[in-house]
Structure 1
């Protein structure tokens, strides 16, 4: 079970850095996350399968979202969410 939680936390961290346009190159991004570049691309591909519109912007030297999206994982109180 811890593996799933670690993967979700990694996706959340990747999402945060993409939103900030602070990933750098793939090598820099993987180093910052403490993972291999291969693992980084595997996670990005999973995110893309979940409809994350991720691309690399040469101008800002960062991975970016092509359109505004949100990412949320977890449980929440339905009464508060619909209010």
Structure 2
């Protein structure tokens, strides 16, 4: 599998965990994903560069979105009504 697609899959996985407020600490997230803590920080930075309003909530020890956002990547069928 290409590195690019793997990166997108990581982003989708982390996005889901952020929505659930269930990432845990960076160390716990790294363990869950099977990557280094450094890779987790890089991935969080990439997500931020994509304009995601991420912050770390120390009270629940999880990354969270400051405001509700959506991440979509891929090809989707055009709505028939929009032709």
Equivalenced residue count is 83
- Within 2, Cα distance between the matches of 1:36 and 1:52? 22
Q: Does residue 7 of the first structure (1) align with residue 14 of the second (2)? A: no
Cα deviations by residue, 1:59-81 (Å, 9 ceiling, x for unpaired): 11111000000000000112258
- TM-score w.r.t. structure 1 length? 0.92
Q: What do you get for the CA RMSD once the two structures are aligned?
A: 1.8
Poorly superposed stretches of 4+, deviation over 4 Å: none
Which residue number in structure 1 is paired with residue 23 of structure 2? Answer: 23
Q: 5+ unaligned residues in a row in structure 1: which ranges?
A: none
TM-aligned CA deviation for residue 17 of structure 1: 0.5
- Within 2, Cα distance between the matches of 1:57 and 1:3? 30
